[in-house]
Amino acid sequence: MKSRTIKVDYLARVEGEGRLYVRIKDNAVAEVRFSVFEPPRFFEALLRGRKFTEAPDITSRICGICPVAYQMSSSQAMESVCGVTVSGPLRDLRRLIYCGEWIESHVLHIYMLHAPDFLGYEDAIRMAKDHPDVVNQGLKLKKIGNDLMVLLGGREIHPVNPRVGGFYKVPTKEDLLRFVKPLQWALEASLETVRFASSLPFPEFERDYEFVSLRHPDEYPITEGRVVSNKGIDISTDQFLDTFEEIHVPHSTSLQAKVKERDDYLAGPMARYCNNFDRLPEVAQKAAKEAGLSVVCTNPFKSIIVRSVETVFACHEALRIIKAYKVPDKPYVEVPPKAGVGHGCTEAPRGLLYHRYEIDDAGIIKDARIIPPTSQNQKAMEKDLRQFVQKNLDLTDEKLTWQCEQVIRNYDPCMSCSCHFLKLDIQRD
Amino acid sequence: MTAVKKPKLAVWKFASCDGCQLSLLDCEDQLLAIAKEVTIANFPEASRAVIKGPYDISLVEGSITTPHDAERIHKIRRMSKCLVTIGACATAGGIQALRNFADVNDFVSIVYANPAYIETLNKSTPISDHVPVDYELRGCPINKYQLLEFITATLNGRKPNIGTHSVCMECKMKGNVCVMVSSGTPCLGPVTQMGCGALCPSYNRGCFGCFGPMESPNTKSLAAWFERLQVPSDDIVRMFRGFNAYAEPFRKESEAHEK
| 3-state DSSP of chain A | CCEEEEEECCCCCCECCEEEEEEEECCEEEEEEEEECCCCCCHHHHHCCCEHHHHHHHHHCCCCCCHHHHHHHHHHHHHHHHCCCCCHHHHHHHHHHHHHHHHHHHHHHHHHHHHHHHHCCCEHHHHHHHCHHHHHHHHHHHHHHHHHHHHHHCCCCCCCCEECCEECCCCCHHHHHCCHHHHHHHHHHHHHHHHHHHCCCCCCCCCCCCEEEEECCCCCCCCCCEEEECCCCEECHHHHHHHEEEEECCCCCCEEEEECCCCCCECCHHHHHHHHHHHCCHHHHHHHHHCCCCCCCCCHHHHHHHHHHHHHHHHHHHHHHHHHCCCCCCCECCCCCCCEEEEEEEEECCEEEEEEEEECCCCEEEEEEEECHHHHHHHHHHHHHHHHHHHCCCCCHHHHHHHHHHHHHCCCCEHHHHHCCCCCCCCCC
Mean pLDDT by 10 residues, chain A (429 residues): 78 80 88 82 92 98 95 98 97 98 97 95 95 96 97 97 98 98 98 98 96 97 97 96 80 71 94 98 98 96 98 98 97 98 97 97 96 90 93 90 92 72 31
What type of residue is A269? P
Does a structural domain hold residue A33?
A: no
Are B182 and B246 part of one and the same domain? Answer: yes
Structural domains counted in chain A? 1
Q: Which of B100, B131, B155 is the C-terminal boundary of a domain?
A: B155
Does a structural domain hold residue A332?
A: yes
Q: For residue B151, give the nearest of B41, B47, B38 by alpha carbon.
A: B38
Are B51 and B142 part of one and the same domain? Answer: yes
Report CA-CA distances (Å) from B200 to A16, A282, A388, B72, B203: 28, 39, 48, 36, 5
Return mean pLDDT, chain B.
94
Contact with chain B for residue A155, Cβ under 8 A? yes
Are B251 and B209 part of one and the same domain? Answer: yes
Are B126 and B187 part of one and the same domain? Answer: no
* CB-based contact A426 B119, cutoff 8 Å: yes
> With contacts defined as CB-CB under 8 Å, which chain A residues touch B17?
61-64, 416
A393 CB neighbour count, 10 Å cutoff: 12
Does a structural domain hold residue B3?
A: no
Q: Which of B9, B17, B174 to mutate to test the interface with A (most CBs of A within 10 A)?
A: B17
* CB-based contact A65 B35, cutoff 8 Å: no
Are B195 and B119 part of one and the same domain? Answer: no
* CB-based contact A125 B118, cutoff 8 Å: no
Are B150 and B172 part of one and the same domain? Answer: no
Contact with chain B for residue A336, Cβ under 8 A? no
Does a structural domain hold residue A414?
A: yes
For residues B184 and A422, the model is more confident at B184
Are B50 and B88 part of one and the same domain? Answer: yes
What type of residue is A292? G
Q: Which domain holds residue B113?
A: 8-155
Are B26 and B138 part of one and the same domain? Answer: yes
* CB-based contact B114 A160, cutoff 8 Å: no
* CB-based contact B65 A13, cutoff 8 Å: no
Contact with chain B for residue A247, Cβ under 8 A? no
Q: Which of B133, B155, B177 is the C-terminal boundary of a domain?
A: B155
- What confidence score (pLDDT) does residue B233 get? 96
- What confidence score (pLDDT) does residue A19 get? 84
Contact with chain A for residue B254, Cβ under 8 A? no
CB within 8 Å of chain A, chain B residues 161-220: 196, 199-200, 202-205, 208, 210
* CB-based contact A125 B205, cutoff 8 Å: no
The pairing of beta strand A18-25 with beta strand A3-8: antiparallel
Does a structural domain hold residue A319?
A: yes
The strand pairing partners of A213, in sequence order, are A228
What type of residue is B139? G
Q: For residue B18, give the nearest of A14, A115, A254, A161 by alpha carbon.
A: A14
Does a structural domain hold residue A29?
A: no
Structural domains counted in chain B? 2
Does a structural domain hold residue B1?
A: no
Contact with chain B for residue A57, Cβ under 8 A? yes
- What confidence score (pLDDT) does residue B116 get? 60
- What confidence score (pLDDT) does residue A427 get? 31
Residues of chain B with pLDDT > 70, as a percent, come to 95
Are B226 and B131 part of one and the same domain? Answer: no
pLDDT in tens, B28-79: 999 999 999 999 999 999 999 999 999 999 999 999 999 999 999 999 999 9
Does a structural domain hold residue B81?
A: yes
> With contacts defined as CB-CB under 8 Å, which chain A residues touch B102?
45
Does a structural domain hold residue A26?
A: no
Are B25 and B57 part of one and the same domain? Answer: yes
Note if the pTM is more than 0.90: yes
Select the residue of A41, A160, A168 nearest B96 (Cβ to Cβ): A41
Are B74 and B125 part of one and the same domain? Answer: yes
Contact with chain A for residue B42, Cβ under 8 A? no
Closest residue on chain A to B43 (Cα): A12
Contact with chain A for residue B118, Cβ under 8 A? yes
Q: Which of B121, B155, B189 is the C-terminal boundary of a domain?
A: B155
- What confidence score (pLDDT) does residue A1 get? 53
Q: Which domain holds residue A276?
A: 43-419
